[in-house]
Structure 1
């Protein structure tokens, strides 16, 4: 298996776990096969099971991903409510 630099691994593995970016997007961006990225993520997750510190790091990354997703959903709901309120305010003023 081809060995990628630690920098490339860090640019792929952490964002994949934290942000939930698709493996295909990383493959396109970095010119790395999807199988290699799957292996990198799998190896990292396995490595994180070795020590308490790395287990906590992985857990924090996954929690960060969940919180980002919830924030994005809340922002979309908020935007919808603002637009709805503006629409009804305009309708009632006519």
Structure 2
């Protein structure tokens, strides 16, 4: 059985919770099994229930993920609107 350092586990958990990375992509990139990563995430969530510092950090990571997704959606909408504006500008000419 492979032993992983706590900082490594925390980094992988953070990538999942904060950036929305899938278990598969993390397993492929870092060489840990999806089951191990899932366990690390579950353990971290449980720790958040009893440790206020972890809870605050967890809330921050979830909020960051939510904002990243909102920004991505806004950027997609912006690109669409720019294309539509360019299309209609050509139609007017």
**What is the aligned length?**
93
Q: Write the distance in 2 (CA, Å) between the matches of 1:53 and 1:32.
A: 26
Give runs of ≥4 in structure 1 deviating > 3 Å: none
* Residues 1-94 of structure 1: pairs in structure 2 closer than 5 A: 2-93=2-93
Task: For structure 1, list consecutive stretches of 5 or more residues without a partner in the other structure.
Answer: none
Where do 5+ consecutive residues of structure 2 fail to align? none
Q: CA RMSD in A?
A: 1.2
Shift of 1:2: 4.0
Q: Normalising by the residue count of structure 1, what TM-score does the alignment of the two structures yield?
A: 0.92
Return the alpha-carbon distance in structure 1 between the equivalents of residues 69 and 43 of structure 2: 25
Given the two structures, how large is their TM-score scaled by the length of structure 2? Answer: 0.93
Query: 1:7 and 1:60 mapped to 2: Cα distance?
Result: 18
CA drift of 1:10 comes to 2.4
